[in-house]
């Protein structure tokens, strides 16, 4: 499976009468984009804004972050089974708009949504302080239930990213990168002396408002399966979950999965990157046993020498993490787990809800309970009405001077980015 990923660098976003891309500037028509959002009947209205790196801007509560991508050649389309038809993706040619993102937000009551700060301490913990963000604040039709609102905002964000990406279809990429995974026998013959390495990605799937979708299917309904790593780059996996902001992989992170990127960088040099295995994180013990059994079996079938495992969420999924680790290790396969920790504000509590001696190689993404103070910023996109309700905040979060005292877990993408950067440095 070979994918050519063409990168078109966006250097600015401006509002205009027509949506188009010229000279690395994305011009956005509010009228045209509003029409896209209002195709979702549960959305009453939407307000657009632009947040740029270094500006004194806070965005909250954030639902999803999406990088616009469009399929130019090859089978299927981006976000298969959701926006495009159900077809196997990950081959051919795809264009992506680098340096920008579509950010959906809104008064999402009771959800564990997060904060993006474009400057200050908070900006140091999120990758999305470094992107040009087209923000879309969605207001629901009165009486809309939370889960229906979440679905509407999720779908509208994907539609908007698709609409924008289509404007790049006739452009010439600034840079093209080729990603290729050989079939199993071809790969074994091509790299007979390199260790066979796989990536096991645990997807959040604990139930309503805690879902991830694979080719449009709720991940809690799948058995662990093998993907070509490039399928992820075409949007085969999208976020639909509302776990703590630092533990949630927005759709942008799936599209730009840094573990996959790093493994491709070493592919054919120091390792043979064999496969991307996805598994879920269900809540019942029987489901955990079933999925971890299947994951270990797939690793053995692929004759892997080593595996990297990443977790999404914390607490209950820690059990899935340790089950996967110890069962894969029991097959004689070395594992490295990547996770954040919840060790209390003083860092002295047990950091994971489960443990095993097999988990003796760990890359930590830091303590999500770490207390930080975010300064008041000049501009707010969204609302602070619910800031005391999100995970990592409290009734005393909002201070008289406008600053926010919160745990690190409120920052969108916080610990994932830190952990992946540490993985890259190993």
Nearest in space to 363 (alpha carbons), one of 296, 418, 409: 418
H or E element, residue 316: helix 316-330
Tokens standing for residue 192? 């007979």
Nearest in space to 241 (alpha carbons), one of 290, 204, 277, 278: 204
Active site members: 242
DSSP bridge pairs for 309? 200, 337
Tokens standing for residue 343? 């060790």
Distant-in-sequence, close-in-space partners of 23: CB < 8 Å, separation ≥ 6: none
The strand pair at 237-241 and 225-227 is best described as unpaired
**Residue 370: alpha-carbon gap to chain centroid:** 22
Distant-in-sequence, close-in-space partners of 196: CB < 8 Å, separation ≥ 6: 188, 271, 272, 274, 302, 303, 304, 305, 306
d(CA 10, CA 115): 23
DSSP-derived secondary structure letter, 173: P
Residues 325-359 as b or e (16 or more Cβ within 10 Å = b): bbbbbeeebebbbbbbbbbeeeeeeebbebeeeeb
């Amino acid at each position: 499976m070979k994918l050519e990923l063409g990168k078109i660098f966006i250097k600015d976003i401006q509002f205009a009468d027509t949506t188009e891309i010229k000279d690395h500037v994305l011009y956005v028509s509010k009228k045209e984009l509003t029409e896209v959002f209002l195709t979702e009947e549960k959305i009453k209205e939407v307000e657009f804004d632009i947040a740029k790196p270094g500006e004194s801007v806070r965005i909250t509560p954030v639902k999803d972050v999406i990088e616009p991508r469009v399929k130019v050649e090859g089978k299927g389309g981006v976000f298969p089974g959701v926006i495009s038809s159900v077809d196997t993706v990950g081959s051919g040619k795809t264009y992506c708009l680098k340096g920008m993102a579509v950010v959906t937000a809104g008064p999402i009551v009771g959800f564990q949504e997060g904060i993006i700060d474009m400057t200050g301490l908070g900006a140091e913990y999120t990758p999305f302080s470094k992107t040009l963000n087209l923000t879309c604040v969605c207001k629901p039709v009165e009486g809309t239930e939370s889960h229906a609102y979440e679905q509407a905002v999720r779908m509208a964000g994907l539609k908007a990213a698709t609409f924008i990406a289509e404007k790049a279809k006739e452009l010439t990429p600034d840079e093209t990168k080729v990603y290729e995974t050989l079939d199993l026998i071809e790969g074994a013959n091509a790299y007979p002396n390199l260790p066979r390495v796989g990536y096991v990605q645990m997807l959040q799937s604990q139930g309503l408002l805690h879902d991830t979708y694979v080719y449009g299917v709720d991940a809690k309904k799948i058995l662990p399966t093998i993907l070509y790593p490039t399928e992820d780059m075409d949007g085969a996996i999208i976020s639909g979950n509302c776990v703590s902001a630092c533990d949630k992989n927005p759709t942008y992170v799936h599209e730009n999965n840094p573990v996959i990127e790093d493994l491709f960088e070493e592919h054919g040099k120091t390792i043979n990157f064999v496969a991307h295995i996805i598994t879920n994180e269900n809540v019942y013990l029987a489901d955990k046993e079933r999925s971890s059994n299947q994951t270990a079996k797939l690793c053995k079938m692929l004759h892997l020498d080593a595996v990297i495992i990443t977790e999404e969420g914390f607490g209950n999924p820690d059990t899935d993490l340790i089950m996967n680790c110890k069962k894969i290790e029991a097959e004689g396969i070395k594992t490295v787990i990547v996770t954040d920790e919840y060790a209390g504000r003083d860092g002295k509590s047990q950091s994971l809800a489960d443990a095993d001696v097999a988990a003796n190689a760990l890359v930590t993404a830091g303590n999500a309970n770490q207390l930080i103070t975010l300064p008041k910023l000049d501009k707010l996109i969204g609302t602070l009405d619910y800031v005391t309700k999100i995970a990592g905040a409290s009734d005393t979060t909002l201070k008289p001077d406008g600053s926010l005292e919160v745990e690190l877990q409120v920052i969108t993408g916080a610990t994932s980015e830190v952990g992946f950067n540490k993985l890259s440095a190993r």
